[in-house]
Amino acid sequence: MAINETQFRFEQLSKDPDKRSYLGVGLTLLTLIILSVLIFPAITYITKLNKEISQAKTIDQALGQKVEAIIQAKTNYEEIKKNLPILDAALPSDSEVATYLKTVELLADKHSLNIDKVQFNDIPLLFDKSRKDLEVREINFTVSLEGDFQSVKSYLSALEGFIRTTNVSSLDVTGETLEEKEFNTITIRAKIYYLGPAVAKTIQGTNLPASSTNKEGVSQ
């Protein structure tokens, strides 16, 4: 019954060719619109999946290369493992001022010099050693010594030859004569290095007065 009615209406419509054409085109466009809207989520989903697969392949390749690099790095690390303490001593991952100060004192004692005063500037207190922004930082310090000038020369050589990298930046000598007088006051300004972050909590101008250091150059 319904089919007959529809057929009747279509026959009525088909009598006018313009209306028939418009109807055909209109229905075709409408169908295309509906289909497009329906398949849109599927198309975007498929595109996203393809994109993810492509990215996953790239990541897989990069990770594979990184694994190879890590294996190579492990081999290289094993080769130099025995020398790592030397590297740690030359460039510690902490300021280790106390240890260094002890060395300064021991060297002074060894070269028959008395430490009058030692001053360290900007000593870092605490920082996370696992941070990625660790770089070579410097600590400036000043040490005042009393003693023979020749001893100071050998002391400087020993200080610069010490495993922890030390750069002497200036040297002030006060005394009546440099070569003969036994009692000269020598002020050495130098810098040591450590591995630390750009900003760390610091103690500025840590001063170790003469009262904390006896004539044998040992802190009390």
Partner 1 sequence: MNRTTISILTLSLLTIIFWIGFQIYKITTNKELPTATAEQIEPLNPNLDTDILEKIIESTKSVTPK
What is the token pair recorded at 118?
A: 């030692």
Site for partner 1 contains 25 (CB under 8 A):
yes
Site for partner 1 contains 158 (CB under 8 A):
yes
C-alpha of 18 from chain center: 76
Interface characters, 43-82, with partner 1 (x: CB under 8 A): xx--xx--x---x---x--xx-xx--xxxxx--xx-xx--
Q: Which is nearer to partner 1, 55 or 150 (CB)?
A: 55
Site for partner 1 contains 93 (CB under 8 A):
no
Residue type, 211: S
Closest CA to 115 of 205, 183, 213: 213
How far apart CA 107 and CA 177 sit, in angstroms, is 24
How far is residue 20 from each of residues 2, 8, 31, measured CA to CA in Å?
20, 14, 16
Interface contacts to partner 1, rule CB under 8 A: 19, 22-23, 25-26, 29-30, 32-33, 36-37, 40, 43-44, 47-48, 51, 55, 59, 62-63, 65-66, 69-73, 76-77, 79-80, 83, 86-87, 90, 103, 106-107, 110, 157-158, 161-163, 165
